[in-house]
């Protein structure tokens, strides 16, 4: 890997964060940031972009599924992987509905961590072109009137500049004639 992949791990258990740091090392092409709750995670996501987010489900405050929903709402191309010891079918259904890439159950092995990161990043590589297409479609959806106005201004700009350049000497002469005429009128009025 030429560029380091940025991984955010959200878990109130410090051992999980340490496991990710150990397994997904810089030697393997990863930079891991760990936080203990969803609010810290959202702050980190606002400050920098991540290639993948791993989150526990059960945490104080906001749970992992709600965090996944918020991440997907603001950055739909970012894969989110749920890691949990509470692997109920209800939690899994909520996670899938939130757009979670994968659902991994604890206890985690180094192989599970590495495989889930690779799998999530492969899925993100497929989503990235879709994001570019979506941005192009949004730009194309810009009102027709606005595009026509922008094109007309672009085409008219050189002619407007030329008109100013041609008219400037005439405007200058008219101004000089007016000032001169006013001066003559004052001189004539002073003589009388």
Query: What is the chain's pLDDT, residue by residue, as a tens digit (192 residues)?
Result: 457 899 999 999 889 989 999 999 888 899 999 999 999 999 999 999 899 999 998 888 898 889 999 998 888 889 999 988 776 788 788 888 888 888 888 888 899 999 989 888 887 655 444 554 555 555 555 566 677 877 887 888 888 888 878 888 888 888 889 999 998 898 888 887
List all residues 6 or more positions away from 74 whose beta carbon is below 8 Å from its beta carbon. Answer: 45
Class in CATH terms, 5-140: alpha beta
What is the arrangement of strands in the sheet containing 52-56, beginning at the earlier edge strand? 30-35, 5-10, 52-56, 80-84, 102-105
Which two structure tokens, joined as six digits, stand for 58?
């059960």
Helix or strand holding residue 57 (H, E): none
pLDDT of residue 47: 92
pTM over the 0.75 mark: no
- Contact at 8 Å (CB) between 78 and 58? no
pLDDT of residue 51: 92
Distance CA 56, CA 24 (A): 17
Cis peptide before 73 (omega within 30 of 0): no
pLDDT of residue 133: 53
pLDDT of residue 159: 84
List helix spans (H) across the chain.
Answer: 14-23, 38-47, 64-74, 89-97, 110-140, 144-191
Q: Is the dihedral of CA 80, 86, 92, 95 positive or negative?
A: negative
Q: For residue 94, how many other CB atoms are within 10 A of its CB?
A: 19
Nearest CA to 38 among 11, 73, 78, 75? 11
């Amino acid at each position: 890997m030429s560029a380091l992949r940025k991984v955010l791990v959200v878990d109130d258990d410090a051992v999980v964060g340490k496991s990710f740091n150990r397994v997904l090392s810089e030697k393997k092409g990863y930079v891991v940031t760990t936080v203990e709750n969803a609010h810290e995670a959202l702050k980190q996501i606002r400050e920098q972009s991540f290639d993948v987010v791993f989150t526990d489900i059960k945490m104080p405050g906001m749970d992992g599924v709600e965090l996944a929903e918020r991440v997907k709402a603001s950055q739909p191309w970012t894969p989110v992987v749920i890691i949990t010891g509470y692997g109920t079918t209800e939690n899994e259904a909520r996670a899938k509905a939130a757009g979670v890439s994968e659902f991994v159950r604890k206890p985690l092995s180094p192989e599970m961590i590495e495989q889930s990161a690779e799998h999530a990043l492969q899925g993100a590589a497929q989503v990235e072109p879709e994001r570019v297409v979506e941005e192009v479609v949004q730009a194309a959806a810009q009102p027709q009137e606005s595009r026509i106005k922008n094109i007309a201004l672009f085409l008219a700009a050189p002619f407007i500049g030329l008109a100013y350049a041609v008219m400037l000497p005439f405007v200058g002469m008219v101004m000089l004639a007016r000032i001169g005429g006013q001066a003559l009128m004052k001189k004539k009025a002073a003589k009388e």
